[in-house]
Structure 1
Amino acid sequence: MGTIKQGILGGFSGKVGTVVGGTWKGIHYMRSLPTSVRNPRTEAQVMQRTKFMVTIDFLKPITPFIRVGFKNYASRQTAFNAAMSYNVKNAVTGVFPDYEMDYSNILVSRGSLLPAENADAVAAERSLNFTWSDNSGVSNATETDQAMALVYNGTKGESVFSTTTGGRSSGSATLNVPENWIGDTVEVYLGFISENGSLVANSVYLGQKTIV
């Protein structure tokens, strides 16, 4: 409750309705109360937060890779947040609350460098053998571009990756995986980064593979 100090035309202190009165250096003032915050758990907000959590669960095990893969989008935000923004919009599927990641639409690297061409991966003994066509000299691709290979194990919430797997001109690379992954189904991606690190290519999804 507010208190009037100098009659009905004087200043007051305290709260009266939606107004707060007070005195500062002998000057009487009034200010309105802040508008109440909207319900932070509206249906739309809960749906969006659920999409965020699904995306975070995928990105967290590959955070170091994301820092390289989305580095060119980190000028006004972190690379992780840039990856979050892209993948929430483009790679979350399903109907609330049963959202899940559409692995084929995920990008784990993004940029203007020419991506991998005719890329594939074949499971071998506790490893994945990557192959691609050497398209050096086409557009901005060079033979010294480094392959960025990533293997994501959704069952275990783990990943194995390398941002310097092999040169574009080599056409192949191998990535070893843990022994306890044998029998697990994994998601496989391949990107490229220029030798000086200034350019990154959009990653290419190579499908699901079963570790042998």
Structure 2
Amino acid sequence: MARITKGILGPVNGKVGTVVGSNWRGIDYIRSKSGPRKGQATLAQLDQQMRFTLMTGFLQSVKGMVQVGFQKAAQKQTALNAALSYNLKNGTSGLYPNIGLQYNMLLLSRGDLPNAQNVGAIAGTTGKVNFIWTNNGSTGKAKDDDIALITVYCPDTLHAIYTVNGPARSAEQAVMDVSQFSGKTVETWIGFMSADGKEIANSLYTGQVTVL
């Protein structure tokens, strides 16, 4: 028997016929019930399992960001599940066992708000990463007071530092204190959200930076 804890659209815990509801690292999902396993897992199964494990681990490190960034893209599912679904399809590369995250293809926010132009990230003073962009607050739905969504992820430590309350689009720059990543190479992204939180831009990958 399964339990639905938050109504018909809430997470399912347990079995309903051939469907199993479960939770992995805070992400609710459903899958087909497995039949009796005969022998070892196939390469295809191992490949799928490795991609899932890599992606759920990464999304846990940026959970607060994607909960905001995918809130509009989530349809009858949580923002975290929407992020998992998109990034599993688009954000990994390679074949088992040499599978990795394809950072330039990952999205941490998803929507149709225009992003800023000429975005970039560079090493600043010790322990800092500087983000720069060109304000385009008069383009479509974009406004000068849109809020920057900024993420810095360190593959070596599997940790991220991010803000969902960055400077306004009109500021054209932001400085992130990531001193705990000093001496390491990090992956970076920027996106924007309207001041009222109703509009979101697709995040943009701003490249690798070696933190001083």
TM-score normalised to structure 1 length: 0.79
| In structure 1, distance between residues paired with 2:37 and 2:138 | 55
CA distance in 2, matches of 1:73, 1:204: 16
- Percentage of pairs with the same residue: 36
1: CA distance, partners of 2:72 / 2:133: 24
Q: Does residue 58 of structure 1 match 2:49?
A: no
Whole-Å separation in 1 of the counterparts to 2:76 and 2:156 = 33
Q: Give the RMSD, CA atoms, in angstroms.
A: 1.6
The SS at the match of 2:72 is helix
Rounded Cα–Cα distance in structure 2 between residues aligned with 1:140 and 1:49: 40
- Asked if the contact 2:183/2:210 (under 8 Å) is kept, the reply is yes
Larger radius of gyration: 1
1:38 Cα shift?
Answer: 5.8
Matches within 5 A, 1:95-174: 95-124=95-124, 125-174=126-175
Cα distance in 2, alignment partners of residues 71 and 100 from structure 1: 26
Name structure 2 gaps, 5 residues minimum: 1-33
For 1:75 and 1:46, locate their aligned partners in 2 and report how far apart those are by CA, in whole Å: 29
Look up the match of 1:188. Answer: 188
Letter in 2 for 1:132: W
Cα distance in structure 2, aligned partners of 1:44 and 1:77:
26
Q: Provide the C-alpha distance between the structure 2 equivalents of 1:134 and 1:115, rounded to a whole number of angstroms.
A: 9
User: Which whole-Å CA distance do the structure 2 matches of 1:171 and 1:152 have between them?
Assistant: 21
Residue 74 of structure 1: CA displacement?
A: 2.4
Please tell me whether the aligned partners of residues 146 and 166 of structure 1 are also in contact (alpha carbons under 8 angstroms). yes
TM-score where L is the length of structure 2: 0.79
On the 8 A contact 1:190/1:203 being kept in 2, the answer is yes
Contact 1:165/1:174 (8 A) holds in 2: no
CA-to-aligned-CA distance 1:27-61 (integer Å, 9 cap, x gap):
xxxxxxxxx92649444333222111111121111
> Mind listing any 5+ residue stretches in structure 1 that lack a counterpart?
1-35
Deviating beyond 6 angstroms after TM superposition, the runs of 4 or more aligned structure 1 residues are none
Counterparts of 1:20-59 in structure 2, within 5 Å, are 37=35, 39=37, 41-59=41-59
Distance (Å, rounded) in 2 between the aligned partners of 1:39 and 1:82: 30
Matched letter for residue 190 of structure 2: L
- Aligned position for 2:85: 85
